[in-house]
Amino acid sequence: MRNAFGLMLASIVAAVAIAGVWYWTSPRADAAPQTIAAKVADPAPASKKLAAKDDVETTASLSSRLAAVAAAPAAPPKPACANPDALGVSRVVEIDTTGGPGFGFEHFKQLDFLTDKEVVLTFDDGPWPVNTPSVLKTLADECTKAVFFSIGKHATYHPEILRQVAAAGHTVGAHTWSHANLNTKKITDQQAKDEIEKGFSAVKLALGSAPAPFFRFPELQHGPAAMAYLGSRNIAVFSCDIDSFDFRAKDATQIVNTVMTKLDKAGKGIILMHDFQKRTAEALPTLLRRLKAGGYKIVQMKARMPLETLAEYDDALIREQKVPVISARAVGSVVQTVSE
C-alpha cells in the first residue's frame, strides 16, 4: 500500500514535472508573442509604403526648404528697379587703392578710366538730417549709385543716416574729421594725419564696418606731405572733374545748369556735390533726369578692399564718444515725486 501510494505519488510528480517541462519548452509558449509580432509585422509592406511616403514627403519638404534657402541668399536679393526709365548704373568699377591713386582731372590726370558720357556722382560733407535722406531717396528712385565722402564729426552726430547710405549700396569714404583745410601752414603733418585717420575711424564707428579707402581733401586742398601719407596708407584721393559749386548756388536751377554746362563741355567726369546742402537735395531729381535725357551713364566706383583703420584712432574715438558717468546714484534717490 505504502509502495502503491508512493508509486502513484511519484507518477503524479513525474506527470506534473513533464507537464511543466512541456509547458516551458513548448514552442507554443513563444508562439503567441511571435504570432502577435507577425500580425503586427504583417502590414509591413503598407507600413513601408507609409514610411517611404513619409520619407519622400520629408525629403521633398527638405528639398523645397533647401531650394528656398538657396533661392534666398544671406544678402537681401537685389530689388528690381521699379522705375523702367531710371538712370541706373551702367558700369561698376573696382579700384585697387594700392599706393593712393588720384582721381579727378581737376588735379590728377593719370587715370583716365571714364569713357565718353560716363559720369561718377560724388557727395561730400554728410551725413546730415533731411538733406542726405532726400539725396538717398532721389538716387533710389533712379536706381543709381554714388560715392559719399563723410565728415567724421558728422558721422558721429548722425551714424544712423550714414548707415542708410551704406545700406543703400553706395560707396562710403571719408573727408577728414572736422573738415580742416590740410594745406595750410597752420596744420602740422601730425595734425593732418590725425584729421585723416580720425575721420576714417569715425566713419567706421558709425557704419560698424570699415569704409572704402577713398578720401577727398576739404576744399580740394591737397598738400605734398598729406598726399605722401595717403599713398603710404593705400588710400585713393578724389578730386573732381565737374565742380557743381552747389554750396554757393542761389537755387536748385543754378546747380543743374552749372553741372550740365560743364558736363556737356567735358563730355564725362566725376561730379562733386554736397549731400549736406539743401539746394543740392532739391536739384538732384532734375539733374538726374537731365543726365538721363543727355545720354549720360553712371559709373559706380567701389574699393577692392576696405580700409584698415588704425586701432589707436578707433580706440581714442570710442573713449571720446563715451559720455562720462559723473553720478552712480539710483534714480529713486535723485528724482522723487512729491505731488501728482
Give SS3 for 181.
coil
CB neighbourhood size of 114 (10 A) = 21
Residue 151 or 303 with smaller CB distance to Zn ion:
151
Binding positions for Zn ion, 206-225, rule CB under 5 A = 218
- Does the footprint of Zn ion cover residue 195 (CB under 5 A)? no
CB of 220 to Zn ion, least distance (A): 9
**Of 142, 132, 196, nearest to 165 (Cα)?**
132
* Residue 314 in contact with Zn ion, rule: CB under 5 A: no
Least Å distance, CB 173 to Zn ion, is: 12
Separation between Cα atoms, residue 291 and residue 284, nearest integer Å: 10
Residue nearer to Zn ion on the CB measure, 125 or 275: 125
Residue nearer to Zn ion on the CB measure, 125 or 195:
125
| 160/219 Cα distance (integer angstroms) | 26
Q: How many residues bind Zn ion (CB under 5 A)?
A: 3
Member of 101, 114, 118, 124 binding Zn ion (CB under 5 A)? 124
Q: Residue 250 phi/psi, 5° resolution? A: -80, -25
Count of all residues that appear for the chain in the document? 340
Name the residue nearer to Zn ion (CB basis): 220 or 299.
220
Based on CB atoms, which residue is closest to Zn ion, 159 or 173?
173
> Cell digits for 314?
578707433
Nearer to Zn ion, 125 or 142 (CB): 125
Is the CB of residue 241 less than 8 Å from the CB of residue 104?
yes
Task: Dump strand ranges (E) for the chain.
Answer: 91-95, 102-103, 118-124, 147-150, 171-174, 214-215, 236-238, 242-243, 269-274, 297-303
| Min separation Cβ 71 and Zn ion, Å | 43
Minimum gap (Å) between residue 175 Cβ and Zn ion: 5
Task: Kindly state the smallest distance separating residue 317's Cβ from Zn ion, in Å.
Answer: 20
Rule CB under 5 A: choose which of 87, 89, 121, 125 binds Zn ion. 125
Task: Write out the residues near Zn ion by the rule CB under 5 A.
Answer: 124-125, 218
